Amino acid sequence: MTRRQRRTAAVVVLVAGVAAATALAVTAFRKNMMYFYTPSDLAARDVPVSAVMDLGGLVEPGTLKHGTGLAIRFMMTDCHHQMPVAYDGVLPDLFREGQGVVATGHLNADGTFVASRILAKHDSSYMPPNVARQVKAAELQGRKDCAAFKTLGDKAMTAARDAP
């Protein structure tokens, strides 16, 4: 081998090694790198009451109810399971029914997720208001795209999620 071929081999082995190590680490820690859990994740396991976590999903259209002051209640869905969420505080501009949201909080004893902070997730579609009006209002209101809310791929959880 010439010196150049040796250098090429060394560089390729180095990059392949680092890439493989990163791929293994990323795969092993996949569930630790999730920014939030979904209602299906919670349905599939026993979650201790008052454990603080992030929960993400869509605000189920038609379930948003306003209480006194800033208090709200709504159902959060990932298209498989639903979870009631209660919140009392300032909402981001993008918050609305049908929108993806990420709530920080904990489960209380009666199975309601009590949020201390709610962030809105953008759905990555952009259009002018008149186009949005042409797309049937009902369709916009009722549309549910849960692709952005991934449930952890454990076998037990997949089974639990697919159960009716």
Residues in contact with another protein by the rule CB under 8 A:
4, 7-8, 11, 14-15, 18-19, 22, 26, 30, 33-38, 56, 90-95, 102, 117-132, 147-150
Distance of CA 107 to the CA centre of its chain: 17
Q: What is the DSSP letter of 79?
A: S
Rank residues 69 and 128 by Cβ distance to another protein and give the closer one. Answer: 128
Rank residues 68 and 124 by Cβ distance to another protein and give the closer one. Answer: 124
Rank residues 57 and 107 by Cβ distance to another protein and give the closer one. Answer: 57
144, 157, 35, 81 alpha-carbon torsion, rounded to 10°: 30
Least distance in Å: CB of 65 to another protein?
20
Are the beta carbons of 112 and 85 closer than 8 angstroms? yes
Least distance in Å: CB of 22 to another protein?
5
In this structure, is the dihedral angle defined by the CA atoms of residues 78, 158, 151 and 139, taken in order, positive or negative?
Answer: negative
